[in-house]
Amino acid sequence: MTKKIAVLVFPGTNSEEETLRLLRACGGDAHLVHWSRAALLRDFDAYVLPGGFAYEDRIRAGAIAAHDEMMDYVIEGAQAGKLVYGICNGAQILLEAGLVPGTGEVRRPTAAFTRNGPVPHFVCTHVWMKLAIDPQRSPILRGLERGALVPAWSAHGEGRLAATAEELRALRDGGHVAFVYAHEDGSVDDSAIPNQAALGCAALVNRAGNVLAMMPHPERDGWTFHHPDRRRGNAMLEPSGGAVLFRSFVQAVNA
């Protein structure tokens, strides 16, 4: 039986419709859940936190949303093993909630996606993300091949992974860095990183592997019509590119 996926809408969320459409196109039974109806979340089997500027990114990006009532249900669900996928602002919320990397207590973050470097301004650029862990490390990623390259758009002012040196070692050694920024040919170096993120990190996963926090937007590179040169086929309304992540997530939810 198809399981239900909630796409959370906080005050200031602005990428929910693109996220919803791509989840559905990839076979997911996805529904928007407004912050005023948080109690509905207990009836869902998985959660997706889309991009935007929840609560205007006051204090820090994701800091207020991490204490929203909706996150009570997400935290409870994640601790029970439900799958959770956060994109851009959603990823920031997951870190502020302590669900990712999950090396500390809930709502006591041990790492953050903070202001970009070297200049702290908004960055909007096309990127490639390279899978940096065994896809079996997370059920969300099991539909991908080892070293998979996924196209996406980075569109954020606060996307640079930052943590203490000790925590960064723990993230690296514990297999928490799920994706790193890369070039289209799969090579990895500092010039591929748009924001000076520590460890070249584009996405983090928690210890259990059921919560994924990703800064770039794969849903903005998720359809064939996003690619003017049509390198990914001629069926303009077919999911492609970044949709591979959504397809893998949906498969994992329904497994």
Please list the active-site residues.
88, 217, 219
Q: Is 14 exposed, middle or buried (0-12, 13-18, 19+ CB in 10 A)?
A: middle
> Tokens 């996928």 sit at which residue?
85
> Is the peptide bond between 118 and the residue preceding it cis, with omega within 30 degrees of 0?
yes
Instruction: Report the SS3 class of residue 42.
Output: helix
User: How big, in percent rounded to 5, are the helix, strand and coil portions of the chain?
Assistant: 35, 25, 40
CA distance 212 to 48: 10
Are the C-beta atoms of 1 and 219 separated by less than 8 Å?
A: no
CA 132 vs CA 25, 55, 149, 198, 247: distances in Å:
26, 32, 10, 14, 19
CA distance 46 to 226: 27
CA distance 205 to 202: 11
Encoded tokens for 131: 């899978």
> Minimal CA–CA distance to 59: which of 15, 8, 96?
96
